[in-house]
Chain A
Amino acid sequence: MRALEPSHTATVASRDVAINYEVYENSGPTILLIPPSPITHSRIYKAQVPFLARHYRVVTFDGRGNGRSGRPVGASRHGREENVADILAVLNASETEKAVLVAHCHANWWAIDLAAAHPDRVVGLVAISPGIPYLGRPHEHWSEVAPRWRSHLENPTGWDLFNREVIVTGLERWVGFFFESQLVEPHSTKQLEDAVSWALETTGEILADSEEAQDLDLPTRQEIASQVAALDKPVLVIHGDRDVCQHVDKGRAFAEAVSGEFQLVADAGHLVAGRDPVKVNHLIEQFVDATTGVKMKSRTWSRGLGRKKKALYISSPIGLGHARRDLAIVEELRHVEPDLQVDWLAQDPVTQVLDQAGESIHPASRWLASESGHIASEASGHDLHCFQALRRMDEILLANFMLFQEVVEEGAYDLIVADEAWDVDHFWHENPELKRGSHVWLTDFVGFIPMPEGGPEEAYLTTDYNAEMIEHIARFPRIRDRAIFVGNPDDIYPETFGDGLPKIRDWTEDHFAFSGYITGFTPPDADEVAGIRHDLGFEDGEKVCVVTVGGSGVGQDLLEKVIAAYPMAKAQMPELRMIAVAGPRIEPESLPTHPGLEIHGYVDRLYRHLSVCDLAVVQGGLTTTMELAAAGRPFLYFPLRNHFEQNFHVRHRLGQYGAGTYMDYSATEPEALADAIVTHVGEKVDYRPVETDGAARAAAMIAELI
């Protein structure tokens, strides 16, 4: 899922080619993002758009030959003039009188062409990794392979892949090599996947034509010199010193030629806007504000000693379990610090819980891109590949981090509590100079574990992500002022972070404090159980099985399977009653009915049902299963397929408490499920007790920081 959808999208015909553009409406100056076509398209700016669109009007487009624009063939249709005409057509069609241009790589050549021909349409230029002919020294590998462009090469490798025949017949070989060479930064797997997939949306023929078009229409040295001399617009050049496409000297020479600002990004490669998006976004913002004279906003600053203590709490919106435990922690924190002001940066469904509890939700929360919506969009059937879903959430996490950073810069918070707020922790380690306040990191699992069916490829990725996290913390121990593992050392999955990396448990014990588990409620005792059963209308002698699949639409398949098992179980055990909770995203009417089976869309205070039932059938999420463990109820749990947290971390932890019966969804037919229900319903359990002081312990650790 994207972090932000455009206000409108349309196409404009430019020299008989349909050019697709998108507009993110807003007041203030317009920013036009120009992609270096056709090797990529507008999505190259995916890390910029949500942030910039919150502050300015943003226009993006796909250049000819890629994305949702036309695919003209022939070098004559990919020249400089055509591309500049496309940009102008987009400005006109989007009714943009003038814009700040942001261009990447060779698109900067078109940008200065446009500025020369239509100076009144251009306010300024942010040139990212620019390459303008004659300005600065190009990399030698380009001139070395140029003479062999049209040759037939036997088994070419490396830069020799820049060859017409290779590109036309095996585009993926060239773009794979090219982008792998450009992403010099470690841990760039996602950026590499993105760049290659966008490049493969064009054809080798078109890419080769566009390369040849550059030579057909090459400006003279004098033309470039006069264009550059006439460019009297503010220019900011952003260039990585390890760029192997456009040598950093080219960016520096361009900045000098136009008396522009030069921002070197040390240790960065060609795709700096995608790989270091926080820095690049802030640079663009500063440039646009300075160039367009955007007024400072009125604001309040409070003298230090006069300030009330303030905390910003970020509760992961994926699942509702975090909200409940975070509320429990805050309640305990208020016992220690009664005057602490707590603001929540939170989104649906967490906000529903917070609203009910009367908590203060920061108004910026409405700008958050939906993380739970993304996760729901990634699930299908009883399957959620949550590691890949998290990777594909990169632009949403970035968009939310950019917002978070504005909130903490304005809010003067003493304390930031991030309960699995991956964006905060990751991007503060990536941009450590941005840290504000004390930072408490909370999590209930450590380490991405590959699913076996993902094979070595997935193991490579999880190892890489784990390695990056370990390196972050080793390099910047000052970013996490306290890391709290919601659980005990024995709960940690007994594996390593991957080849060559430490054991998860050893590392976690070295880097975390342990609060014990936090349920957020006290389980009922035997008398209370009887009372609640009575209140809920459970008859004596009745065996009640509660089925719940959480709040997302992911649970439909499990629900159907349990319902299919019900008549068989009922035949074996007539006193069996089943209460199935479909949740807000599943229509109860869409499910089959049987006598003795009740299906509800929503059940008020579901935890009461769970805490007194004779058996629960649930997915493998930590919160619900641990609730059942704490209440001492028998339960069958079905981890979602490909969900590493449910399959490894949660399962291991439940094992520590001796709680629940693991079930494999795909291997369990309704008959077997019916047998399992009959076997386990009403079963006496002997779980290890779940601690009840977790919230207080976590709060005590947090309170030390304020």
Chain B
Amino acid sequence: MRAAYPDTAGTLERDGTRLGYEIYGGGEPTLLLLPTWTIVHTRFWKMQIPYLARHYRVITYDGPGNGRSDRILDPERYTSDAYAADALAVLDECHAESAVVAGLSLGAQYGVALATMAPERVSGLIMIGPALPLTPQSHERSSIAERFPEPYPDDVSGWGKYNLAYWHDHYADFVEFFFSQCFSEPHSTKPIEDAVGWALETDSHVLGAQSTHPGPEPDWAMKLASLRCPTLVIHGTHDRIQPYERGAKAARLSGGTLLTMEGSGHIPNARDPVKVNLAIRDFIERLPT
């Protein structure tokens, strides 16, 4: 059983893709919880929704490729601008003139893209463990993109499993490895189980399509510096997916507030939900009225 069920659940179609969305609660302002890497779907916000929906109108939706959205295989459908356009369509569908927007990891890219595309629709932006390539990647993950399309060796281990062919052959094993890295905190069995379960609702082909970058990387530093809305960055110091320095820099560039979570991994909203929930609430309450 869930702790909270949506007041409205529907689907909308944008550019030929059906997206499932949900609306919880009716308070002010509206809070849009963005999708992230489509390895998981909207349930990764499960520890936020019941609390925040008691105070705000919370909109969530599944990005293309997982949950109740179409399993699209076209890489163009997974660019940050495509995600921003999806988010706008969701806001329109829900008659939200503007919203506070929150994104985890890649979701931070989608949030920045949305705030750049439609600044008047974003009254505040929360980025958790942002996947914004503003500082070098960790040593272990520094060359995974180049090796991604290559064949994988027999004795593959660790981040070598970040490999398309390996995904096709051993998707579940990759997923388990990946989330063990996301949750670097001790005693994380349940969040890992959850995330693995959601990952198994999609497949290696969908994930492969999203992870094949079709175009050049946008200039994230410039986009962050030109944001007009207040920002909050939440980043764990033990984040093995996106180095903590990236979040710190994103906060600096956007003139925002940084909440450093000492000892936290990549998905603190699942592992330390109380602190993250309170920080989100605090941020929203302080937004100019």
Contact = CB atoms under 8 A, between A and B. Distances in A.
B261 interface: yes
Interface in B255-278: 256-264, 272, 275
A356 B38 CA distance: 59
Interface of A: 234, 286, 289-303, 305-306
Contact of A296 (B260, B275, B286): B286
A298 B279 CA distance: 11
A293 B288 contact: yes
B75 to A, nearest CB: 36
A303 B283 CA distance: 20
25 contacts: A286-B285, A291-B289, A293-B287, A295-B256, A295-B286, A296-B232, A296-B257, A296-B282, A296-B286, A298-B257, A298-B259, A298-B260, A299-B259, A300-B259, A300-B261, A301-B261, A301-B272, A301-B275, A302-B261, A303-B261, A303-B263, A303-B264, A303-B272, A306-B262, A306-B263
Nearest to B283: A296
Contacts of A296: 232, 257, 282-283, 286
A303 B259 contact: no
A300 B262 contact: yes
Contacts of A299: 258-260
A204 B277 CA distance: 56
A300 B272 CA distance: 13
A302 B264 CA distance: 8
Nearest to B285: A290
B230 interface: yes
A303 B262 contact: yes
B73 to A, nearest CB: 39
Nearest to B260: A300
B251 interface: yes
B76 interface: no
A659 to B, nearest CB: 52
A404 to B, nearest CB: 21
B87 to A, nearest CB: 24
Contacts of B203: none
B289 A290 contact: yes
A293 B229 CA distance: 11
Contacts of A305: 186, 263
B262 A301 contact: yes
A297 B263 contact: no
Contacts of B282: 296
Nearest to B234: A301
B260 A301 contact: yes
A302 B185 CA distance: 12
A124 to B, nearest CB: 9
A282 to B, nearest CB: 13
A294 B262 contact: no
A290 B264 contact: no
Nearest to B288: A293
Closest 3 interchain pairs by CB? A293-B288, A303-B263, A306-B263
Contacts, number: 54
Given A290-B286, A302-B263, 18 more contacts: A234-B289, A286-B285, A289-B286, A294-B286, A295-B230, A295-B286, A296-B286, A297-B257, A298-B260, A299-B260, A300-B259, A300-B261, A301-B259, A301-B262, A303-B261, A303-B262, A303-B264, A303-B272
Interface residues of B, number: 23
Nearest to A297: B257
A302 B258 contact: no
Nearest to A124: B289
A297 B286 CA distance: 11
Contacts of B289: 234, 290-291
Interface in B174-201: 185-186
Contacts of B186: 305
B265 to A, nearest CB: 10
Contacts of B285: 286, 290
B258 A298 contact: yes
Interface in B47-102: none
Contacts of A301: 259-262, 272, 275
Contacts of B287: 293
A659 B97 CA distance: 80
Nearest to B264: A303
Name the residue in A292, A295, A296, A305 with the highest tally of chain B Cβ atoms < 10 Å from its Cβ: A296
Contacts of A306: 262-263
A298 B260 CA distance: 8
A633 B57 CA distance: 75
Contacts of B288: 292-293
Interface string B203-221: 0000000000000000000
A633 B186 CA distance: 60
A22 B258 CA distance: 35
B117 to A, nearest CB: 24
A293 B263 contact: no
A504 B263 CA distance: 49
B275 to A, nearest CB: 5
A292 to B, nearest CB: 8
A298 B234 CA distance: 10
Contacts of B286: 289-290, 293-296
B261 A295 contact: no
A178 B27 CA distance: 43
Contacts of B264: 303
Given A302-B263, A306-B263, A295 B257 contact: yes
A325 to B, nearest CB: 34
A303 B262 CA distance: 6
A296 B232 CA distance: 8
Contact of B230 (A286, A293, A298, A303): A293
Nearest to A303: B263
A289 B264 CA distance: 28
Nearest to B233: A298
Nearest to B257: A296
B175 to A, nearest CB: 25
A305 B238 CA distance: 14
Contacts of A298: 251, 257-260
Interface string B158-170: 0000000000000
B257 A302 contact: no
A550 B48 CA distance: 58
B254 to A, nearest CB: 11
Contacts of B261: 300-303
Contacts of B272: 301, 303
B245 to A, nearest CB: 14
Contacts of A302: 261-263
Nearest to A299: B259
A299 B283 CA distance: 13
Nearest to A295: B257
A298 B288 CA distance: 18
Contacts of B185: 303
B228 to A, nearest CB: 13
A589 to B, nearest CB: 56
Nearest to A298: B258
Name the residue in A286, A290, A298, A301 with the highest tally of chain B Cβ atoms < 10 Å from its Cβ: A301
Contacts of A300: 259-262
